[in-house]
Every structure is written in C-alpha cells, then in structure tokens.
Amino acid sequence: MSVLPPLGPPGHDPVSEQYEHGRELLGVDPGLDAIDLVQLDDQTMELNMGPQHPSTHGVLRLVLDLDGEIVRGCRPDIGFLHTGFEKDFERHNYQQCIPYTDRMDYLSPLSNNLGFSLAAERLLGIEVPARAQYLRVIMCELARIASHLIWYGTTALDLGATTPFVYAWREREKILDINELVSGVRMHTSFIRVGGLFADVPDEFYAMVAEVAKTFPHHIDEYETLITGNAIFRERTRGLGVISAEDAINYGVTGPSLRGSGVAYDLRKARPYSSYDHFEFDVPIGERGDIYDRYLVRMGEMRESLRIIDQALAGLPGGPVNTSDRQVALPPRNEINTSMESLIRHFKLVTEGFRVPRGTVYEAVESPRGELGFLLVSDGSNRPYRCKVRAPSFSNLSALPHMVMGEMLPDLVAVIGSIDIVLGDVDR
C-alpha cells in the first residue's frame, strides 16, 4: 500500500493542494506563510510570531512591524486558550467553581483558589480558623516559589541558557510532591475551598515543608551563581524592556513587573489577607524597570516566600481547618450516623451547595504575577450570578507593546519572559 497520495495529471500537486485547503480552513491569509515577511512599505515589514512559538509561554500570537530587526509595532493576538470559565461559574455552585479557578493560572492554582474563596467567604460573612489561614499561606507561598521557578527556568532558556531550566525543574518537583501529599494531585489541587481547606495536612507535611525551607536558600544561591552575575545575561537584560513606574501604573501592571519599576506595592503588605500581617517579610523592588530588575525582584521574592513559610510553619496553630459555620461546613461524620437532620443537611450541601447572600464584593490576592481579583456578584442563590476574574497576566501583557517598542527582535522574547505571563490566566 502506498503512503503517498495518488498522482494526478502533470502540474497537479495533491500535497500542496491539501496544504492550501488546510490553510483556507484555518482562515490563513492566502499567500501569507507563518514565517513570511510582508513588505508594508520601504522600511517596515510585518512578521507573524506564534501562536506556536516556544518563547511565547503558551499560545500567544504577536504581529510585529519590523524595521530591519527593530520592533516598530507589536499587536498581541490573544484568546487561543479562552475557555469561558466566567460563564462556567454561573452554572455551578460555589464549591464546584474551585476546580475551574485551578485551571486559569495553572502555574499557581493555590492563589486562584484563595482569591475565589476569600470573595465567597466575605459574602457569606464567615471567618476561617487560624490553622487554615496559616496553611493557606504556606501553600500559596510554595506555589509562588514553584511558579517563579518555572519563570526562572523558561526565561533563561529563552535567552539560550539551558542549565537553569533543569535545575529549576528539579526543585519544583519537591513542591509538587507536597501538593500531591496534601491533595492527591500535583498541579490542580483544589486544596483551598470556600470555608477552609480540602482536609488537614498529613504528618509527613511538616518535615517536607521544613526540608524545602531549609534547602531552598542554598538552591537559590545556585541559581544566582548561574545567572545573576552572568555577563551574557546582564548584557541581554540591562536597560531592555524598560517601563517607567507611571506607565506601568497607567497600564494596570501589577506584581513583580510593577515592583521592578520601583513601586513597592504588594497586597500581602498593603491589604493583608489570610493572616499575612502575622509574618515579617520584605517587598523587593527594582529601580530601572528593566528585565534585569524584574529578574532580581522575583529572585528576592522567592527568598521572602521562604521566610514566610519558615514563620508560618513555626507558628502553625492547632485546631480545625474548616469553618464551623453550618451554612457552609459539612456536618461531622459521627453526627450523620445519629441525626437525621444532619444527614439531610449533608445531602443538601453536597447536591445543592449553600446559598450566598445578595451582594457584590471585590477581593484580590497577590498572585505570583500580580493582583488577582475576583468580582463576585451574588443574587442570593447557590451559584455566582457573575464572577469577573481580574487576571494579572491580562493587564501585564497589554503593556507589552509599550515595552518592546524600538527594541530588537531577539530581545522581544526576553521581554515576554520577564513579564511572566501565563496564557491560561490571560485568556481564562
């Protein structure tokens, strides 16, 4: 049997016909190839980059106007990962929304869980126990380190350094092991729920977290040895992708990308949630707002996260990890055995969920990428009437054209890496 397509008459090429047909289906401009340059005028050319491009950290398409190798225009095209999570929220009860939040910013799912839970808890007027708050902090800070490790590895990889990637992946694995231990899942944990946590942590947890807190400072020293003083890295990042503090604020840039421009605003400090005011930590900031400063900020943040984890683990209180408020909490197992009412309540909570008072709240947390906010509108039913997710990557990416204007094409990938976008977060 032949694997080649049948031959047609002379001049007829079935392969290229199929190819053209496929491009037609995809709506590709006829005659424009993925790597084709389009001559706009004497000076400028249009280049399509992505969506399948290793340096775009997902599926991001950029249409670039190039003058030689200099970027004169940049038009991001997003939405390739749009999944309609906000519509899904409207069709699920509050606890069922938690797994959807996992999948938005998939490198730091715990922050998303936390933001949504805090918003719902504000509407419900419930306070979670201190132990749950501390465990939330520990898990979120571990997620921050894991997320920054991926950023560190991939950004270095984009700039041609392959070794850091392998190091970062090795250490991230230890944090994923902790995720697996507490929730059974490595990435999409759904560990933080409305009203508390999925479950208390097993006994092995303390030793594993202590091990991370003990060994990671040494690992971060290793990363810094590899990159921070590296002459090539400095050459390629110093003074590039600069954004001033005023411009960053005007574009709604938050998180390490904003702090790299010298604005010391961190929601964990400014509006502490989930007991962050119990811990001592600093907010690293940069001066110039270039790629290198954003790099230094994130490296500093990993060290600060370790400090927080240390303190939270040392001061971890005992007690329950879920609220005792019965409008949200499931009745305890032994009660179900003896009380009909508890059994009914359990059944109702699992099938219908709980009702949330009418109202609107905006709750924001400091995710590894910036301000992750949830505008939660309730109409008094068991499902969110509307939930708008304020994704940090979305706003941060919108400042990309401003950052790369006038830069060289090869530096563009470094700038994309330095704002640390997650396309799942951008597109939702």
Partner 1 sequence: MSSVEDTAGSHPSAGARALDLLRRELPDAVLAGDEGFGEVSIRIPRERLVEVATLLRDHEEARYDLPLFVTAVDWPDREPEVPRFDVVYQLRSMRHNDVVRLVVQVPGDDPRVPTLEGVFAGMDWHEREAFDLLGIEFEGHHDLRRILLPDDWEGHPLRKDYVSFGEPIAFTHNLEWAMPAQERPPDMPGESR
Closer residue to partner 1 in complex, CB, 64/208 = 64
- Residue 255 Ramachandran class (φ > 0 left, ψ -120 to 50 alpha, else beta): left
Query: Of these, 233, 273, 279, 295, which contacts partner 1 (CB under 8 A)?
Result: 273
Q: How far is the CB of 375 from partner 1 (least distance, A)?
A: 7
Please say which residue, 47 or 377, places its beta carbon nearer to partner 1: 377
CA distance 332 to 348: 14
3-state SS, residue 47? strand
Does position 56 interact with partner 1 (CB under 8 A)? The reply is no
Task: Give whichever of 206 and 362 is closer to partner 1, judged by the CB atom.
Answer: 362
| Min dist. Cβ of residue 178 to partner 1 (A) | 27
- 402 near partner 1 (CB under 8 A): yes
Collapse the DSSP code of 321 into the 3-class scheme (helix H, G, I; strand E, B; otherwise coil) and give the result: coil
364 binds partner 1 (CB under 8 A): yes
Candidate list 329, 375, 408, 409; residue touching partner 1; CB under 8 A: 375
x-marked contacts with partner 1 along 245-264 as a string, rule CB under 8 A: --x-xxxxxx--------x-
The answer to whether the beta carbons of residues 196 and 320 sit under 8 Å apart is yes
* Closer to partner 1 by Cβ: residue 189 or 261: 261
For residues 332 and 326, what is the distance between their CA atoms, to the nearest angstrom? 10
Residues 108-127 touching partner 1, rule: CB under 8 A, are 122-123, 125, 127
CB atoms within 10 A of CB 159: 21
Binding letters toward partner 1, positions 332-361, x by CB under 8 A: ---------------------------xxx
| CA 211/CA 201 separation, integer angstroms | 16
Q: Shortest approach of partner 1 to residue 254 CB, angstroms?
A: 7
Q: Are 102 and 113 in contact (CB under 8 A)?
A: yes
Within residues 61-100, the interface with partner 1 by CB under 8 A covers: 78-79, 82, 84, 86-87, 91
Distance separating alpha carbons of residues 238 and 242, to the nearest angstrom: 9
Query: Please, which residue, 71 or 399, has the CB nearer to partner 1?
Result: 399
What are the φ/ψ torsions at residue 197 (nearest 5 degrees)?
-125, 165
Helical packing angle, 291-314 and 204-227, nearest 10°: 160
User: Does residue number 399 form part of the binding site for partner 1 (CB under 8 A)?
Assistant: yes
Angle, alpha carbons 340-346-349 (nearest 5°): 140
Residue 321 makes contact with partner 1 by CB under 8 A? no
Number of residues that bind partner 1 (CB under 8 A): 44
Q: Which residues pair with 71 in a beta bridge?
A: 66
Q: What is the CA radius of gyration of the chain?
A: 24
Residues near 113 by beta carbon (within 8 Å), at least 6 away in sequence = 98, 101, 102, 189, 190, 191, 192, 193
Positions in the binding site for partner 1 (CB under 8 A): 78-79, 82, 84, 86-87, 91, 122-123, 125, 127, 247, 249-254, 263, 265, 270-273, 359-362, 364, 371, 373, 375, 377, 385-386, 388, 390, 394-395, 398-399, 402, 427-428
